[in-house]
């Protein structure tokens, strides 16, 4: 019995929306936020910039999920393998 065609999330998929996931990586560029000013509500820039980065990452991830969840997946090429074919212990 194979679940290959009917399951969700199988196979490879690419969408231009996936490129939106690159944006949260700007938070990793430390020299951008390695300073104290300007402060926001008494909180140094170093801290509130990271909070903003987390919010931007969540928004980007949620947007990509919502825009790509209904796209069909393309099954990986090759023959469908059964559980018994994939079991390494059965070859002994």
**Tokens 């938070």 sit at which residue?**
27
pLDDT of residue 55: 94
Q: Of 27, 11, 15, 13, whose CA–CA distance to 76 is shortest?
A: 11
pLDDT in tens, 6-26: 555 555 667 888 899 999 888
Domain chopping of the chain, boundaries: 16-75
pLDDT in tens, 35-68: 778 888 888 888 888 899 999 999 999 999 998 8
pLDDT in tens, 64-86: 999 888 876 666 666 776 777 66
Nearest 10 degrees: Cα torsion 51, 55, 57, 63: 180
Identify which has the larger pLDDT, 85 or 34: 34
């Amino acid at each position: 019995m194979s679940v290959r065609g009917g399951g969700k999330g199988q196979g490879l998929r690419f969408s231009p929306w996936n490129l939106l996931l690159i944006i949260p990586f700007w938070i990793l560029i430390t020299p951008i936020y390695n300073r104290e000013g300007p402060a926001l509500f008494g909180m140094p820039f170093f801290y509130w910039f990271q909070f903003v980065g987390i919010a931007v990452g969540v928004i980007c991830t949620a947007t990509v999920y919502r825009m790509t969840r209904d796209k069909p997946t393309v099954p990986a090429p090759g023959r469908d393998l059964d559980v018994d074919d994939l079991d390494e212990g059965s070859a002994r």
